Amino acid sequence: MMTYWRAVGENLMLALDTLRTHKFRAFLTVLGVLIGTTTVIAVASIIEGLDAKLVDVAEQYGTNVLWIYKLQMGTPHRLTREERLRKPLSFEDAQAIKEQCADVEDVSVALFQQISDFGLPPSTARYKGREMAGAQFMGVDANYMALSNSELADGRFLTQADDLHRRDVVVIANNVVERLFKPEDPVGKDLVVDGHTFQVIGSLQKYKGFLGDSPDDNDIFIPYWTYKKLYPNAKDHFLSVLVYHGRMDAAQDEVRGLLRRRRHVKLSDPDNFGISTAESLISDFRAIIGTVALVMVVISSIGLLVGGIGVMNIMLVSVTERTREIGVRKAIGARRRDIVWQFLLEAIVLTGSGGLLGIAVGWLLSFMIRVLVPGLPSTVPLWSVIAGFGVATSIGLFFGLWPAMKAARLDPIVALRYE
């Protein structure tokens, strides 16, 4: 056993010596392996960062909350004719869910004008000489802040009394404060939204965004019935349903059954509304990212394949250059397997070096992404490092096998005569 490991060590030192002798040639040989490994590491770190960020953002909006809308949230897709013509959910649907679903703790309602392919209809907010286009203007009830896990930065949120008396009061998100009021305190000031004047009674803390600033930071909330008074034709409702802890599956079944009955959906027909959870949105995202990762793996595989062909080519050249050396080794007692291991180890060291360089470059790219895009916490997962190095060395083993076998089969007499 000691003799075996001594032989492996000698072959390894010989392989490293060959790399030192032909540094530039070795680098060009493993360039494909380096690129392939770098791609694997960089993509894995981005995916890991995106996944962690998504989970963080989803948890902010609540892991025990159902989001219900007339369309399915999540993966974007082209709307069918049936989806475009769907009737919206109603305020009465929200009341029915709260009263008839035993596993539901509370329900919140948001009302806005009909949503388009580009999101909520843009509104314009003004304060003194400042103007903000693209604000997301909606009417909500007093439960909205609790169910969306929002937190106050200043003032107070809307109350049932505000809603009952249809008061012209407004709560604004962080970005609205930054763009229209800073350095002033917004509470108590008058804000004009689409020509209607409201008194600011509170502001919200900054939302966690997926890649930096969240689009929800442009929200402007007024009482539900105030919005209904100003826009009597508004019918698009978005429902947030708070579920008792540990009852998510039962609550989904209850809500789905109730809404199907209220919306007269036949047993054989699919839902004509969408129910989403943090978990379902994360699953949808992971499905999309999985497709992206698959494409990246294919691209990196091309690089690894090119690198492997390059390794095989350079090893065949090496066998030709060292034919006399092989003859000498065989003449003094080297066996076929000794020659095979010599060239296999050289190929593995060659591609393994490319793999290590690729890991280093991939880690550097991940670090640069983290610095340049602070909202994306890209981290290099351990599995990607192991996989990258493992694949790199496997490439050397696979593509180095033929040159190694060719070297082992050389006739020692013919090899000694080779010039």
Residues 177-199: tens digit of each pLDDT: 988 988 889 999 999 998 899 99
User: Residue 314, class by beta-carbon neighbours within 10 Å (0-12 exposed, 13-18 middle, 19+ buried)?
Assistant: buried
By percentage, how much of the chain surpasses pLDDT 70? Answer: 83
**What does the DSSP 8-state code read for residue 88?**
P
Q: What is the pTM of this model?
A: 0.68
Closest Cα partner for 177 from 196, 197, 159, 153?
A: 153
Structure tokens at 119: 């999101």
pLDDT of amino acid 108: 92
**What does the DSSP 8-state code read for residue 402?**
H
CB 33 within 8 A of CB 392: yes
Q: Rounded CA gap, 169 and 59, in Å?
A: 29
Can you name the residues that pair with 107 across neighbouring β-strands? 241
Q: Each residue of 9-29: pLDDT tens digit?
A: 666 666 666 666 666 666 777
CB 239 within 8 A of CB 69: yes
Q: Each residue of 320-338: pLDDT tens digit?
A: 776 777 677 777 767 777 7
Q: How far is CA 240 from CA 93, 109, 255, in A?
A: 12, 7, 12
CB 235 within 8 A of CB 114: yes
Q: How many degrees, rounded to 5, is the angle at CA 190 between CA 233 and CA 111? A: 25
**Residue-range domain boundaries for the chain:** 2-56+288-417, 64-105+235-276, 115-233
- Cα-to-chain-centroid distance, residue 122: 27
Q: Rounded CA gap, 156 and 182, in Å?
A: 19
Tokens 């595989």 correspond to: 301
